[in-house]
Amino acid sequence: MAELTLPITAFGLDVLDDLVSVDVVPNLNEVTQNARIIRDKVVNIGVLPVTITVTIAGIDLPVTLSTSIPFQEHTDFPGACPEDTLQETPLEVEGIFTQPGVPVITGPVVGDLVTGILFKVVLRTNITVIRPVIQDAQGNVCDVNQNRCENLGDAPSFTLPAPENGNGLL
């Protein structure tokens, strides 16, 4: 799920009543995505470039903003371990939601609230986790590395690459 809330002022709006329509067009060809396996889960993190077009009452041309919406999702995958191999189909858009009128915190104080628009894009993919196995002399299938899921101490930590071409910036 990609989700972002922007203040209405980002579109030149002062009051919500002037908002006529909102259109969100995702660009799946430019998505930046990183998926990793941790024990019993697959974690998917990235940014989805979008073009948001807002039609405002009294303004001849719509206001267009190109930005990226961050997404993060985890999928429970019992038995998955970090040494397994991850395969994933390209992302697909299942639905696009906009909700004008939600509050946005604009400063360090919780009281610094302005009116915003919530943007959500529901994404779908198919995930396959593969582990190497062998067949023993008796015909039993066994893991190549039977210790692949042993906890070696601290939880895994990942530093993911920054999005290319400035796709993570407003």
β-strands 41-56, 32-38: how paired? Answer: antiparallel
Give the closest residue to 54 by CA, choosing from 102, 107, 116: 116
Q: Which ranges of the chain have pLDDT less than 50?
A: 169-170
- Residue 77 phi, psi (nearest 5): -140, 75
What's the pLDDT at 135?
87
Give the three-state DSSP class for 56.
strand
Q: What's the pTM?
A: 0.82
